[in-house]
Amino acid sequence: MSFRLPARTLWQASPKFATIPRISSQAPSWRRHYAVSTDETRTAIVTGSARGIGKSIALRLAQDGYDVCINDIEANKSIADDVVKEIQSLGRKSFAYTADVSNLSEVQGLVQASVSELGPLTTMVANAGIAQVKALLDLTEQDLKRMFEVNVYGVYNCYSTAAKQMISQGHGGKLVAAASIVAFKPFALLAHYSASKWAVRGMTQAFAMEMAEHKITVNAYAPGIVGTAMWDLIDEKLGEKTGAKKGDTITKYSNELIALGRTSVPEDVSGVVSFLCGKDSDYMTGQTIVIDGGIIFT
């Protein structure tokens, strides 16, 4: 006849096994390092934030607990002031500063004003940009120059000026910029716009490599077809080329290109930007995230 003793009985009875050290099942304790200290007031500059995606980003960051500097060009000053009032109604500090991002000295003034009004800069969102619908062979030297002045030089001016400020503060930070789905797949009649957004992707990756040692993360967001004034213009100009009625081009794109079957709204984008600006993205840098409802798959 055979019988078995419970395993615990064998462990207690055998002096041979009694000397084996018990192995702790407790997981090792890892310390998380944040790009921006969660103990300090978080401040953000959002360029091109008087309307559209920029406005949505500014309001979302205010809801997230940031004090926000609203930036736009002089022509949009009155609506920028309205955004400031909305943010202040949420209990956050805010002010508007007029600057053209293509002008380095104006961006430097923007950053200095934000630090003076709101405190140390923790986040820069280089959202400002322009678009133009035009055939490649019709482009002028001025068309190309202005596109790159705003969309490429503008991002560089914001990244570099904000980075220098963050490095001087010594607490890391977040640099975020607007790319586009056309930074992955160009659209016809948007060649120079597409090229400028490819440049934003490349610059974002390069900045990410060089800023890592300073605990500054650098990422970009790539919206698809969004219901904003910019896409209204694109729809209108494409319609002039193809003979389509106003609204038909975006409807066609939405039905045929977008997997989710609808044009996006600014809030679809600002939610992702909120993530890129927050602590949950601290281990992400050099990335461009597509938010297009399923046009481009990466």
| Closest by CA position to 97, among listed 86, 107, 85 | 107
- Please give the C-alpha separations between residue 34 and each of 42, 43, 56, 211, 258, in angstroms, as whole numbers: 13, 15, 25, 14, 36
Please give, one letter per residue, the 3-state secondary structure of 91-153.
CCCEEEEECCCCCHHHHHHHHHHHHHHHCCCCEEEECCCCCCCCCHHHCCHHHHHHHHHHHHH
| Closest by CA position to 127, among listed 95, 98, 96, 159 | 159
Query: What pLDDT tens digit does each residue of the chain (298 aa) get?
Result: 444 444 444 344 444 444 444 444 444 444 444 455 455 789 999 999 999 999 999 999 999 999 999 999 999 999 999 999 999 999 999 999 999 999 999 999 999 999 999 999 999 999 999 999 899 999 999 999 999 999 999 999 999 999 999 999 999 999 999 999 999 999 888 999 999 999 999 999 999 999 999 999 999 999 998 877 777 777 787 787 778 888 787 787 778 889 998 889 999 999 999 999 999 999 999 999 999 999 999 8
Q: What is the pLDDT of residue 24?
A: 41
Burial of 109 (0-12, 13-18, 19+ CB in 10 A): middle
Identify whether the C-beta of residue 119 lies closer than 8 Å to the C-beta of residue 54. no
Task: At 226, give phi and psi (nearest 5°).
Answer: -115, 145
Q: What is the pLDDT of residue 251?
A: 80
Question: What's this model's pTM, rounded to 2 decimal places?
Answer: 0.85
Q: Which domains are delineated in the chain? A: 40-224+265-291 (3.40.50.720)
Residues carrying an active site annotation? 193
- Which residues, including other chains, have CB under 8 Å from residue 167's CB and lie 6 or more apart? 214, 216
